[in-house]
Structure 1
Amino acid sequence: MVFMALASRAEAVDAARAALEAPLGASAALRCLSTPARDVTLTMPVTGQIQELAVMEGDRVKPGDLLLRVDDRLADIEYKRRKMIANDASELKAAKARLRSVSQRLKAAMELLQSTHSISQDEVDELALERVLANSDVTRLLHEQSVQAIEARRAKLEKESHRLTAPFDGTVVEILTEQGATIHADQPLIRLVDTRTGVLECSLESDGDADLKVGGRMTIGFPAHNPTTMRHGVVSFVSPLQDSASHLRKIKIRFDNADGAVLLGMAGIILANVQSPAEEARVGARSEASPREKPARVVQQ
């Protein structure tokens, strides 16, 4: 099946109406269904009791908005404890001060040994050993401080894992739990969809998709809803595989639905390719020399 550009919006509407009126068995070249570009069922990695359910079905949310919170009191206490330990640098400061003091004493002792010999070599060696030990203490405490900082970050992430937030702009369409309920890790909780962008998924006869390429523009319609509801979409996926039973290939066409005119979930059809200006000029030149080609046949879903 090769799709041709429709001459006008009126022809596109007529084609959509024809598809709606065509008998179901007329052709099975295309079977299309519209879906949201993003449709996810959210879970959490923790087990606990829901302390706050912050949304209702139908609510619009933005990225980062709180959806629900599981009891996080113990996680909050652990985070504060780890943070306090990580921020306590008193022992490290004392160790650094001792290292500076020993280093100064060692330097003075070495100068005395060389200039006046009023101090023995054993005393200098003892100070040198003390400096090595003081330096080791500083190194150990710096390492412990890094470990405590990592533990504090881990405790913070553990606390944050008790909060479920929206990953993108969308609408809450289903809540699968309730406030006060005890949930388990990875349990489905909230379904969130973004209907501003739709995807028309179609199954296409393999011998008729030669002109379909990723990035190509298509005109699509939704005659079962309204013959005048049409969109220009972009082919986002053309399957490299053919279904062994039906001999059809799957394609996906993304289209803008910011106005919400398309009720996602309804069936749709491909009306025509959207040609570039250069292609339209070539088609126009041919049409002057020959009768206008009829619009591509629209297939009933």
Structure 2
Amino acid sequence: MALESGLESASNCVTEPLRQAKLAFPISGRVAEKRVKEGQRVKRGEVIYLLERRREQLEEKRAKLLLEDRSALNGARAREQMLGKQLTINRRLFERNQSISREELDKLILEHELALQEHARLVNEKRRQKVDHALAAESLRLRALSAPIDGVAASLKFEPGEMIDANQLAAHLVDVRSGVAVCHVEDQLARRLPVGAQVSLRILSGAPVMRRGEVIFAAPLMDPSSGLRRVKIAFENTDNAVILGAPAAIDGVTP
């Protein structure tokens, strides 16, 4: 592949991971465990840090026990059903031959109504307990910092026993299997680099490494201070031949 006549090779590019994640806790706390080391590969969902969480564990357990205890609810339901059957039988007796008094029937109606209300109250209580358990589980979950992507732990900022503030950078993960060259190029070249264009990259990672890439972004605006436009070119790096962060140059564009 070659640039069209009149265009020189563009070398104002820097490579970086196509996918990376900078992680922080949304809450403050003291580090209890650091489960990975810098440079270690991690899988998505793998726990990297744990904050002290004994209190949150106990609260989640308490909320779970309350939620799972249905003895009062089941008892209220059984009583309501029993009184409902008694009421049906006694209402028929009253209507047929008045073998029970109106006062006795009214008393049974009231007892059944109270049983219905108690059952409804306990149903609502279970709903509230379900919310309480969800909140306790979420509070516990927030004290674990997990990897959102497969990658390598490029940096880990804290050790067990240290305090972390909310939203303070704790870990940086990078997926080195694919990269992106972020280039700042003249408008004349940028016009020949629409999204989807195939590009030949020369990456200066020790000995130059050649990669075929694809344009995934072309800025619609020109930087007013430099007169350049930003273009991103994605490329594969499954062989890890490219040390991401290295400079790169565009060697050619498919006509």
The TM-score with structure 1 as length reference comes to 0.78
- Structure 1 residues 79 and 104, CA gap change in structure 2 (3 angstroms): same
Determine whether 1:260 maps to 2:240: yes
Determine whether 1:269 maps to 2:249: yes
Determine whether 1:225 maps to 2:210: no
- Please report how far the alpha carbon of residue 128 of structure 1 lies from its aligned counterpart in structure 2 after TM superposition: 2.2
Provide the aligned length of Structure 1 versus Structure 2.
253
- Structure 1 residues 100 and 250, CA gap change in structure 2 (3 angstroms): same
Determine whether 1:103 maps to 2:84: yes
**Residues of 2 paired with 1:130 and 1:170: CA distance?**
64
Determine whether 1:72 maps to 2:56: no
Amino acid at match of 1:202: C
Q: How does 1:191-210 map to 2 (within 5 A)?
A: 191-210=172-191
More strand by share: 2
Which residue of structure 1 lines up, in the alignment, with residue 192 of structure 2?
Answer: 211
- Please report how far the alpha carbon of residue 202 of structure 1 lies from its aligned counterpart in structure 2 after TM superposition: 0.6
Identity %: 34
1:175 pairs, out of 143, 156, 161, with 156
1:114 pairs, out of 78, 83, 95, with 95
The TM-score with structure 2 as length reference comes to 0.92
Amino acid at match of 2:166: A
Task: Please state whether the residue corresponding to 2:248 is helix, strand or coil.
Answer: strand
Q: Larger Cα Rg: Structure 1 or Structure 2?
A: 1
1:251 pairs, out of 224, 231, 238, with 231
- Please report how far the alpha carbon of residue 159 of structure 1 lies from its aligned counterpart in structure 2 after TM superposition: 1.3
CA offset digits 1:13-57 (Å, max 9, x no partner): xxxxxxxxxxxxx97965111001123321112322211111211
1:87 pairs, out of 62, 68, 80, with 68
- Structure 1 residues 3 and 28, CA gap change in structure 2 (3 angstroms): closer
Task: Please state whether the residue corresponding to 1:145 is helix, strand or coil.
Answer: helix
Amino acid at match of 1:258: T
Indicate the RMSD between aligned Cα atoms, in angstroms: 2.1
Q: Which runs of 5+ in 2 are unaligned?
A: none
Determine whether 1:50 maps to 2:34: no
- Please report how far the alpha carbon of residue 144 of structure 1 lies from its aligned counterpart in structure 2 after TM superposition: 1.0
Task: Please state whether the residue corresponding to 1:126 is helix, strand or coil.
Answer: helix
1:149 pairs, out of 97, 115, 130, with 130
Amino acid at match of 1:123: E
**Residues of 2 paired with 1:49 and 1:238: CA distance?**
43
Which residue of structure 1 lines up, in the alignment, with residue 220 of structure 2?
Answer: 240
